[in-house]
Structure 1
Amino acid sequence: MASYEPTGSQFLFYSPRDRNYVAMPELEVADEGYWGLRCTDGHRAIRRLPDKWHRHRYACEVDHYLPEHDELPLLLPDSVALLSQPNAVIGSLWYHRTERSHLSRAYDGVTHLGTSEAAEDRNLFLISGGAQTNLFTAKISAGARVAPHVLVEPTSGDHGHEIFDKWFETADVIMYVNSHEAPGSISLAIKPSVLTTVVGVT
């Protein structure tokens, strides 16, 4: 299995035990057709979206479900392509799925954006609880400062978002490897002030 070492940036993995981020020189890349998850026996998670009730949400290639994950996610190949292009984050179209009628902010005041797959995964989770959702697309203003680090969420437990503030002192956009929605994809935590071209799709 290939691994990816970013140029000009560094992976930082959140350690729930230490409640801090630790540097990683590289991150493994998932094979095409699989999510960025492995079971504790090392088997891959088949890349498919769950049904609306989230039964067998991420299926192991040798089982019907993935009850326990390795703590460290893998990157999706699409994520490697994004990280390989320094300006791609600014130029890309990002997605946000919410129960609200407007682009929502997280509890810490920042907005989270992701890929279309991550938004669809979020939608399936929300509607499984009976919610009605809205989809928004957005771009980021050209002058936004993107943090040089790529944060990596653990696949379970505390994800460390509450200590993002230390990076927002010098950046407007923080990239992170999403371990919960379209696992292995790149998502963004951003200051709402750098959002532009917000469009409500549904």
Structure 2
Amino acid sequence: MLQKIEIPSHVDARPIPDRVVKRFESAKQRIEAFQDRWDRPQIEQFVAADYSHVFQSLDWTLETQMTIGRRFVEWGSGFAIVSAAAALLGLDVIGIESEDVLLQQGRITVDDWEVPVELVHGNFLPTGAESLADDPMLPSLGHPVENAYDSIGLDIDDFAIVYSYPWPGEDDFHEAVFNRYAARGALLMMFCGPNDIRLYRKT
């Protein structure tokens, strides 16, 4: 069962260190340049989150909520901006990404930010999780890559915090996967759009 934790509306007033703000600005420019390229197909499933808001929400969560550990995993890490930000906040971070070109961009971020983030190529869904989906056409389904957890020797229940940016209409599916596979007491944070960050604890 998932218990919703209300993130206060004023969380966006939390200060962000100047060095982090500059890194977000630089990352935004890289992402815009990447998306403006005309010489390769666009990756439709990659959309940038509001990284400042995510950082503030994660910072608030770590300050106010009990956690069962420091391990953090990002489902679909893309440019690894959230993963890198989580590492700056002192978490032990693994980012999982199925697209090779995005994984390359994520590694650039990790190198530029000089943060200890492990990026893994693979599917963030554990084996059998597809059966929890009501719609077989959800974007999270059907990635022709291996289960990432086999390569890292960890399972979802080894992580204290899971972060995802679900495609519209698949937030319920991400919640169902987390509820089925996460450890009791673990936290799920989802960026579901502007001013819509949701936080749940598995009870």
Fold similarity call, TM over 0.5: no
What TM-score range do you get, normalising by the shorter chain?
A: under 0.3
For normalisation by structure 2, the TM-score amounts to 0.24
Give the number of the structure whose residues are more often strand, by fraction. 1
Give the number of the structure whose residues are more often helix, by fraction. 2
